[in-house]
């Protein structure tokens, strides 16, 4: 019998089957051991979907709250072994973080490309914005950062394909690439001037969408905690 709630579920409106991490036993000695994966199906009594959250970005993706009130989940819907959820999550979270990092570098690169095109067209004081040294320096710096992120990402992807990506390396990659995305998109938006603040322009939407990368899949602070543990701290 499942009770509880989970805020922030991406794609929750459309999901007809959700995997819930639930506490199935309480062992004060080992809190991680008591977690299990339960498959809850749409239509099960007591399983409710809440309202769609009004986010500042990622407007095409729904994010909702799910609640579970005395939901009777059959034993057949236990996924994997009882009490092993934490270890399953440990291996799959690295892949989720890598996927977020891939999106971050791709969006930073897109911001760079959009901005390079824009500054060549837009004129200020009778001359293209691209002609200012500041514009060249800003975009050169962004381009260098994007390449650094891509190199880190490529290494992590190769490790992942070989089944060798460690939790700490996935955290380093997510931390670096999502922070890079934030810096890159912000610097690019600045070069659009006022139009950068208008949602009609893709750079403004990239800015709004970018903010969550440092939050979901584990915040930047949590990534730093994981990395610091790998340093023995």
Ligand X SMILES: Cc1cc2nc3c(=O)[nH]c(=O)nc-3n(C[C@H](O)[C@H](O)[C@H](O)COP(=O)(O)OP(=O)(O)OC[C@H]3O[C@@H](n4cnc5c(N)ncnc54)[C@H](O)[C@@H]3O)c2cc1C
Rounded to whole angstroms, the Cα distance separating 105 from 73 reads: 40
CB-nearer residue toward ligand X: 150 or 220: 220
The helix (H) or strand (E) run that includes residue 63 is strand 63-71
Q: Are 104 and 152 in contact (CB under 8 A)?
A: no
Site string for ligand X, 34-63 (x = CB under 6 A): ---------------------x--x----x
Active site residue 82: no
CB-nearer residue toward ligand X: 58 or 208: 58
- Which of 65, 82, 84, 96 is labelled catalytic? 96
Q: Are 214 and 182 in contact (CB under 8 A)?
A: yes
CB-nearer residue toward ligand X: 36 or 63: 63
219 makes contact with ligand X (CB under 6 A): yes
14 makes contact with ligand X (CB under 6 A): no
Tokens of 89: 């999550």
CB-nearer residue toward ligand X: 57 or 128: 57
Q: Which of 9, 157, 168, 227 binds ligand X (CB under 6 A)?
A: 9
Smallest Cα–Cα separation from 205: which of 107, 101, 77, 124? Answer: 107
Rounded to whole angstroms, the Cα distance separating 193 from 41 reads: 48
**Least distance in Å: CB of 172 to ligand X?**
16
Q: Which of 31, 215, 228, 230 binds ligand X (CB under 6 A)?
A: 215
Q: Interface with ligand X by CB under 6 A: which range of 36-44, 64-72, 196-204, 210-218?
A: 210-218
Start-end of H helices in the chain: 85-121, 133-161, 167-190, 202-210, 220-230
**Least distance in Å: CB of 77 to ligand X?**
19
Rounded to whole angstroms, the Cα distance separating 99 from 31 reads: 28
Q: Which of 180, 212, 213, 226 binds ligand X (CB under 6 A)?
A: 212
Rounded to whole angstroms, the Cα distance separating 13 from 48 reads: 10
Dihedral sign for Cα atoms in the order 89, 95, 100, 101: positive
Tokens of 34: 């008591």
Q: Which of 10, 24, 77, 150 binds ligand X (CB under 6 A)?
A: 10
Termini Cα distance of the chain: 39
CB-nearer residue toward ligand X: 190 or 220: 220
117 makes contact with ligand X (CB under 6 A): no
**Least distance in Å: CB of 10 to ligand X?**
4
Catalytic residues: 96
Chain positions contacting ligand X, by CB under 6 A = 8-10, 55, 58, 63, 212, 215-219, 221-222, 225
């Amino acid at each position: 019998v499942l009770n509880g709630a989970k805020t922030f579920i991406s794609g929750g409106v459309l999901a007809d089957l959700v995997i819930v991490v639930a506490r199935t036993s309480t062992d004060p000695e080992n809190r991680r051991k008591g977690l299990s994966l339960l498959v809850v199906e749409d239509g099960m009594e007591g399983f409710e979907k809440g309202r769609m959250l009004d986010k500042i970005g990622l407007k095409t993706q729904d994010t909702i709250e799910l609640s579970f009130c005395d939901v009777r989940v059959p034993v057949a819907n236990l996924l994997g072994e009882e009490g092993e959820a934490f270890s399953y999550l440990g291996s799959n979270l690295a892949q989720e973080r890598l996927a977020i990092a891939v999106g971050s570098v791709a969006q930073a690169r897109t911001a760079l490309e959009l901005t390079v095109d824009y500054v060549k067209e837009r004129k200020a004081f009778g001359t293209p914005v691209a002609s200012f040294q500041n514009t060249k320096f800003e975009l050169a710096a962004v381009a260098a950062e994007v390449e650094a992120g891509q190199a880190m990402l490529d290494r992590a992807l190769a490790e992942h394909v070989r089944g060798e990506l460690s939790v700490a390396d996935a955290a380093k990659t997510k931390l670096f690439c999502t922070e890079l995305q934030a810096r890159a998109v912000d610097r690019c938006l600045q070069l659009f001037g006022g139009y950068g603040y208008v949602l009609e322009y893709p750079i403004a939407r990239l800015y709004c969408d970018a903010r969550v990368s440092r939050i979901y899949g584990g915040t930047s602070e949590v990534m730093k905690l994981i990395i610091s543990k790998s340093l023995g701290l």
